[in-house]
Amino acid sequence: MSEEIIKILDALADKFGIAIDWTSSNVLPYLQQLCTKYVRCEIATSIIWLIVGIVCFIFARKCFMKGKESYADTDEQNLNRGAIFYIICAVLVVIGIIISMTQIFDIVTCITFPEKLIINELQDVYSNLKAVKK
C-alpha cells in the first residue's frame, strides 16, 4: 500500500483511538469491508436526498395548481397570490432539479466507479490533516 494512504488511515485510526497492525493478514479484508460500507452509506444518503428533491417537485406542482386557481379569478388580490404561488413553484423546481441531478450522479458514481468516491474521501481527509498540522 502507498505510504500516503497508510498515513491517512493511521490518522483516521488515531481519531477513533484504534491501532492498526499493517502486518496483520486481516487488514485488507477489513478495509475492503469498510469501503463497501462507506459506498452503501453514500448510496443511502443520496436516495434520501433524491426523495427530498422529488418532494420539492410534488410541492411545486401543488403551488402551480394553486397559482392557476388564483389566476382564474380576476381579483387583484388573487392575481398577486397567483404570482406568489408561481414564484414558489419556480424556486421549488430549481431546488428539486439541483438536488435530484446531484444525487443521481452520486448514485451512478457509487455504482459504476466506487473507487472514485473512496479516493475523493481520502484526498479530503489528507488535505484536512495537512491543514491541521500547519
Q: Summarize pLDDT for 74-104 with one digit per residue, the tens.
A: 777 778 888 899 999 999 999 999 999 999 9
pLDDT over threshold 80, residue 106: yes
Mean pLDDT (the chain, rounded): 85
Q: Return the pLDDT at 71.
A: 77
> What integer is the mean pLDDT of 21-32?
75
pLDDT over threshold 70, residue 12: no
- pTM score, two decimals? 0.75
Axis crossing angle, helix 76-112 with helix 114-133, rounded to the nearest 10: 100
Q: Distance (Å, rounded) from C-alpha 92 to C-alpha 65?
A: 14
